[in-house]
Amino acid sequence: MKKDNITIILAPLQGFTDVTYRNVFSDHFSGVDEAVAPFISTMGQRRLKPSRIKDVDPANNKNLFVTPQILGNVAGDFIFLADHLYEMGLKKINWNLGCPHSKIVKKKERIGAFTVS
Ligand SMILES: Cc1cc2nc3c(=O)[nH]c(=O)nc-3n(C[C@H](O)[C@H](O)[C@H](O)COP(=O)(O)O)c2cc1C
């Protein structure tokens, strides 16, 4: 519940705060106003991973407003995913600019590594 104009946003934890977690959480607890979903990695060749799209589909997230997060290092793939999410009714995107996990760092999925295609 919003109090004193402060918005409490559930932080994303990849592998934990997925749609099931968020729905169970909001069924049993209050105090969180909205959530940022764990990052969706961009995929090449105009592909989308269905499970990641389902995770942020507003139809599956009726209790808690969810903002999808994108992680990727190819501008065209980022735009493709962002456009798809926008068409699904998700008008806000959270842009992950620096996941410190070593597996992700190796892929250079950060703004410094963005390429234009
Ligand atoms: C297992 C794990 C997964 C995470 N996944 C994401 C993620 O998908 N997107 C993101 O922006 N941050 C992610 N984070 C970062 C957290 O949202 C949070 O910012 C970070 O843990 C710092 O908060 P703390 O100081 O309370 O631990 C992750 C952190 C952990 C430990």
Range of the domain at 23: 9-113
**Which pLDDT value is given to residue 113?**
45
**Which CATH number belongs to the domain containing residue 24 in this structure?**
3.20.20.70
- Please report whether residue 4 resides in a domain: no
| b/e burial code for range 64-92 (CB count within 10 A of at least 16 → b) | bebbbbbbbbbeebbebbbeebeeeebee
Ligand 1 binding pocket, CB closer than 6 Å: 11-15, 38-39, 69, 96
How many angstroms separate the alpha carbon of residue 11 from the centre of ligand 1?
Answer: 7
* Domain-located, residue 3: no
The token pair that represents 53 in the structure block: 């799209």
Question: How many domains is the chain partitioned into structurally?
Answer: 1
User: Is 107 domain-assigned?
Assistant: yes
- 10-residue block means of pLDDT along the chain (117 residues)? 83 97 96 96 92 97 95 92 97 88 70 45
Distance 10 CA to ligand 1 centre (A): 10
60, part of any domain: yes
pLDDT at position 26: 95
Residue 34: in which H helix or E strand, if any? strand 34-41
Residue 114: per-residue pLDDT: 45
| 50 domain-assigned | yes
